[in-house]
Amino acid sequence: MEGGERLLPKGFPKLKNDTFLRAARGEETEHTPVWCMRQAGRYLPEFRETRAAQDFFATCRSPKLCCELTLQPLRRFPLDAAIIFSDILVVPQALGMEVVMVPGKGPTFTEPLKEVEDLLKLRQKVDVTAELGYVFQAITLTRHSLEGRVPLIGFSGAPWTLMSYMIEGGGSSTMAKAKSWLYRHPEASHQLLRLLADVITDYLVGQVAAGAQALQLFESHAGHLGPEQFQDFALPYIRDIAQAVKSKLKEEALPLVPMIIFAKDAHYALRDLAHAGYEVVGLDWTIRPQEARAQTGKDVTLQGNLDPCALYAPKEKIGELVKKMLEAFGTQRYIANLGHGLYPDMNPEHVGAFVEAVHAHSRHINKHS
């Protein structure tokens, strides 16, 4: 890419393993597909080596590096999907906010939103190709580089999660500043959430145009909201994004790709999320599979939900936990994953044990059912 010829989003290699896409659409699969949130990450020594001399967001802006980091876990493990290496905070950057990665602290906004008047500083119209074209280039390059091995997932943060970062200025255990906006400034909150939803819609459509074969929306901070606030400030925008993305994909004659909604700690909203227009509902590790099935019904695929910390267990124990999880979810209309992302100090061999256990146990269950 850099210094070379830019690949175009066409003439992609034929897909060899479509198990993930079939499961997402509710079609029968020979084995349960598996991928991991944060599968391209610091738990891999090759990731740390690639990232060593580079600023985090500079890495995100390099299609070549994003492609390399996306492919690294695929070289180690027989995963059934790749997810593009990027970050949810590229969207606030596209709106004109500065975000830097501070060592030991994480992503930090140099000037978070403090007053309603600060909304005027944001770009009200965002040309996603101009502002986020580097992500689209990374997707196109990666889709070609995957050579059809597995499908490529694109993603974005959801409006409430992005809003909370933009107001808090970084991570927070309470999200008190952001939640105070919902109570004190409901109209301004809706104004910001609508702006974000519109940009996210264009961003996700652009990812499909670039070559993404599925999309995941991360409502990572859903757990900070109660049922009423979720109904008012999160769910309407989650629904709107699914509807608007699908409508625009049709208008632009682009593939109607499966969409996944992952709203962490939003157990109270599972029924609503199952009817929000997404083919797949992602689950964190704090809900029983049977309960999730009962709440979501038979018309959506479920994804999740092994406790990430289970990967600290011995490999044999990981296998037992995977078997139990598969028996609880069933092997069909199901995509195995963790209940959140991989942690930096995890042993790559244990990640491999998780992936292999999903394939082995799901094939065994399918064969004997």
Give catalytic residues, as residue numbers: 38, 42, 51, 87, 165
The residue with tokens 């992602």 is 282
* Residues 54, 198: Cα–Cα separation, whole Å: 31
Burial class (CB in 10 A: 0-12, 13-18, 19+), 8: exposed
Query: Which residues lie closer than 8 Å to 148 by C-beta, 6 or more apart?
Result: 12, 13, 14, 15, 16
Tokens representing 142 are 């990666």
* Residues 132, 193: Cα–Cα separation, whole Å: 19
SS3 content of the chain, % helix, strand, coil (to 5): 50, 10, 40
Answer whether 238's CB lies under 8 Å from 197's CB. no
* Residues 187, 116: Cα–Cα separation, whole Å: 10
Backbone angles phi, psi at 106, to 5 degrees: 100, -165
